[in-house]
Amino acid sequence: MASQAKTIEAKKDEFRAYLEKTGVVDQLTKVLVSLYEETDKPNNPLEFIKKNMSAPEEVDEDNLKNEYLKLKDENDKLRQRVTDLQKQIENLKGDEDNA
């Protein structure tokens, strides 16, 4: 039984070291400290944690949305261009067959 407890402790220590090495502990600590320092505590602390864990503070959501819309529009135009070119190819093949 004692060796099993040592094995469990060793696994816990290994996991702790992994979390520290990969920066997870530091990131969690920063988020929890920022939650602690909030003067107006959020109604949903889990959402606060998710929001602060998912993206760096310097991300500008409006710019990202605008860029997304621009790229989506460009993608739609390119897809239409591909469709048009495929039709042209089919027409040229048809003309070639008729000649």
The pLDDT tens digits of the residues spanning 30-41 come to 999 999 999 999
pLDDT of 71-90, one tens digit each?
Answer: 999 999 999 999 999 999 99
Q: Return the higher-pLDDT residue of 59 and 82.
A: 82
Is 59 in a helix, a strand, or coil?
coil
- Domain match, 11 and 37 both: yes
CA 17 – CA 15 distance, rounded (Å): 5
- Domain match, 70 and 49 both: no
CA 16 – CA 14 distance, rounded (Å): 5
- Domain match, 85 and 53 both: no
Domain count, the chain: 2
- Domain match, 4 and 51 both: yes
7 vs 15, 16, 17, 35, CA distance in Å?
12, 14, 15, 35
Instruction: Indicate the average pLDDT of the chain.
Output: 89
CA 52 – CA 48 distance, rounded (Å): 6
What pLDDT does residue 4 have?
76
Q: Range of 64's domain?
A: 60-99
